[in-house]
Amino acid sequence: MQACWSFVVLVFAGGFLIVGPWWALRGIPAMAMLLVAIGLWFDLAVLANLIEWAPAWVRRAAVRLAVVSHLIVGGWGVVEWWRPIDPAWTPLEGSADWSDPLLVFSQVDGFVVQSGGGRVRAWTGDDWRHLGEPPGGRAWEFHAAPDGALWTAPTGVARLDRRDPVTGQWRSVGRPAGQLESLAVGGDELLVTVGGALHRLDMAKGTWSKEQLTGRVEGITVGGGTALALGESWWSREGAGSGPGARRPKRSRGSTGPSAAGGATRGTAASGRAISMSHHLAGRSSRGRRRRRTCG
C-alpha cells in the first residue's frame, strides 16, 4: 500500500513540479520561480524517499536530473523576469484589470476594446472613454464598420448589437435564428453564417436575405464592398450585394494560392473579389471546425 501511494505522489506531484515550471515560463515567470522553489524542495527532501525501491545510483541520478531541470528553469525565469521592456511600448492605464479582451479599430473612436465583462471602451491617447455596454453583454464577435459603428454578436440569442457612431446609443438588430459561426460588416451590408448558411442584411432596407450557394458556408469577412467566405466550395463575387451592378457569383475549384490565402488572413481581398474556400481539401474541414468559435 505504501509503495502504491508513493507511486501516485511521484506521478502526480513530481510530474507537475517538473512540467509546471516549464509551462509557466511561457508568460508567467513569477509563477515559474515559485514552482522552481517548491520543486527543489521536492527534489532534495522527498524524491529519493519516493523511489527508495530503486537502486542507489538510480535515486541519485533522478534527484540530480530533477535539480538540474529546476535550476535551468530558475535561471531562465530570472532572465525573463528582469529583462527590460522595449521602451517603444508603454502599458495602458487600467488595461491590466481586463480579462479576455477583444480589440478593433474604429474610424470614429480609434482603438476600441470590449472586456470580458462586456463593457466597451475607446483609448483616447491618455485614458479610456466608456462607450457603454451592449444589451447582450459579452459577445463572441466584435467588429467595427467602415462608418465607425460597432457591432457585437451576443451568445445565446438571435440578435446583433450595434452602437451608432453619431448618437453613441446601442440597439439590437434581429438576425436569422440558429448557431452563428461568423460575422462580417461592410459599408452597406452585413453578412453572417448561421447553421452553415450565408445570410445578408441590407443596411439601407434593414432586411435579411439568404444567399443561395451550394454547400455549407463556415466563415465570412468583408472589406471595401467585397467579401471572403469559407465553405465547402469556392465562390467569387464582384461588387457588394445583389443590387444593380453586382455580378453573379463565380465558383472556383482550384487552390487559393498565396494571394487568396494572404487576403483571407488579412480580412480583405486585394483583387476586390469574394472567394469562398473549401473545407474538404487536405482534411481542412475537421481542423477548421475544431478551431471555430460558435455562438447560438
Tens-digit pLDDT string for the chain (296 aa): 555 666 677 777 778 888 888 888 887 888 888 999 998 998 888 888 877 778 889 889 988 999 999 999 999 888 888 888 788 888 787 777 777 888 999 989 999 998 888 889 998 888 889 999 899 888 888 999 988 999 999 888 899 999 999 999 999 999 999 888 888 888 888 889 898 899 999 988 989 999 888 888 888 877 666 777 877 776 767 665 543 333 334 454 443 333 332 222 223 333 333 433 333 333 333 344 434 445 55
Distance from the Cα of residue 204 to its chain's centroid = 31
pTM as predicted:
0.61
Q: Contact, 277 vs 270, CB < 8 A?
A: no
pLDDT of residue 172: 93
Look-up of cell digits 517603444: 88
Q: Measure the CA–CA gap between 277 and 257, rounded to whole angstroms.
A: 11
Rounded to whole angstroms, how far apart are CA atoms 119 and 24? Answer: 29
Contact assessment for residue 133 and residue 112, using Cβ atoms and an 8 Å cutoff: no
| Residue 1: predicted pLDDT | 56
